[in-house]
Chains A and B, each alone.
Chain A
Amino acid sequence: MFSKILVANRGEIAVRVMRTAREMGIATVAVCSDADRDALHALTADETVFLGDSDPASSYLNIDKIIDAALKTGAQAIHPGYGFLAENPTFADRVVDAGLVFIGPPGDVMAKLGDKTTARTIMSDSHVPIIPGMTASEADPAKLASIAKEMGYPVLVKAAAGGGGKGMRIVSSPDSLAEAAATCGREALSAFGDGSIYLEKYLERPRHVEFQILADTRGNVVHLFERECSIQRRHQKIIEETPSPALNPELRAAMGEAAVAAARAAGYVNAGTVEFLLDQTGRFYFLEVNTRLQVEHPVTELTTGMDLVRRQLEIAAGLPLPFTQEQAQPRGHAIECRIYAEDPELDFMPAPGRILFARAAEGPGVRFDHGIYSGCTVPMHYDPILGKLIVWAEDRPSACARMMRALKESVILGVRTPIEFLLDILESKAFRSGDIHTWFIDEHFPGWKPDPSDDGIASLGYVFYDMVGPRPELVAAGGETDPEGSSPWRTLGAWDLAR
């Protein structure tokens, strides 16, 4: 096993990886940009290497700087987390060329699967069902238009190098195809460094169901069951759970086998996720393989009792999987809610800023993976995820109740978050019934507004905090004079409770 690893990421996932490493007695190296000098991941690691400029291209996406940091600190392996360089085959190859271990699949496998069109060909050849659409990327608007016409609208414009809903647009009529293609290409180029796009037939109201897979270097491949990820906003998952309310044991077995077949067809090694769309009739189609640890991996950890980061490190170190498919048995129900800095009233617009106060949910069956603390800054340069609240309980109704209880215990003040929107979803009959699909939010929560029924109590809180709450220390203590007057809201310095 390694004695020191570098985590080439930031935020909650970097902290999460470091926690397992620490439990395994492995020293950790963080990398951070200027904007992240005081970020939780930089404060958590045993060593921190500063990458400089906050722009992702000169920091978390800068291969030279990251490999250099690993070599200088004597790290033997690099964990890429998710996003940034996690699915960049050049990075995986460069890590290996530098004499280090990449904690993830080999670069060539990643390259094959990362190109969505190549992946579709591989799966199709191995009899894994795929969504009707193109198997090669195309830039010419005229050709795209004729293909779309043949396939029938609506179509989905997708980035060949894409993932996580970035660089993807639904196009319902020919007029908007060219612009959507251009925007996707541009987004893809900036997010993944590759602007190629292709078209896929768009399925109405499908479910997004994915399978966790693990493959070691000795040819053992297992799946760790499904995750239902249909609750999405802007094509990005916000609530995930396992097991999926839509699967029966037969369908689960069939999809699990397809996932393992997909991993084998690609020569997959390490942890990965095979994503499927499941239509209303119970037919499933291969969507893509995510060649990394997923954001939502904790729900699988809670139901299987397994630490997936530990498995990743063991596989990267050449160890065999310590269990067989038959030995993997899920238990109970787990749900994850993603908590972003975003405004659910403004189409989930990112809302960077400063977290003035944060308090985590606690108690039975609750886990909060996050990268925040009271007083930390949420920079505008990166993905706005703050953390993930995950609960486990015996069954789905108890897990829903536990998630609501945990969301109500979560306090994040200073930036907008979707916490109360998530609460409203969890409470809804539609969610409770398990009848969910990728258009769930558009269908059930269009133009969502916060419930004002506790606003009166909030206004009392404001008034009494102003009347009897803590005051800023007096000017006599040597502080600055507040030119705006005496309102405590205007001063953010030290507070004196003992007036």
Chain B
Amino acid sequence: MANYTLTVNGKDHHVEVDRDTPLLWVIRDTMKMYGTKYGCGIAQCGACTVHVDGTPIRSCCVPIEKLQGKNIITIEGLSQDGSHPVQMAWKEIDVPQCGYCQTGQIMTAAALLERIPSPTDEEINRAMKGNLCRCGTYPRIKKAIHEAAKLKQS
């Protein structure tokens, strides 16, 4: 066990965990923030996606020791009130069914729009194909990303 300081959603958190502990489990079990989901543990489903210095990463596969000094944003930090354009678009299109994967989808989509403000279907497919949804909300996710791009520009 060792002590680490993590910057999550702009706040420093001091935690004592094993150095190989994946960020996901620190966020969930230690910090008790449950918006970031466990899905596979091997970076295959995207349910655990968070931003590290603006880049979407699968938090289930990144050990905490590699995250010192990095700026981590989780779904709880994307906006205070659900007003991020991607969240607004998700509400407008009413994307979720069970909703479990959606926080990961939203984090990946938010990072995509930072990189490509107005992505094509092809670019959306490329960015989003790492995020699984078992309910099959993909058609709505695609629609919502286009909607978010519009909201962001207006």
A binds B: no
Question: Which B residues are closer than 8 A to A by beta carbons?
Answer: none
Question: Which A residues are closer than 8 A to B by beta carbons?
Answer: none
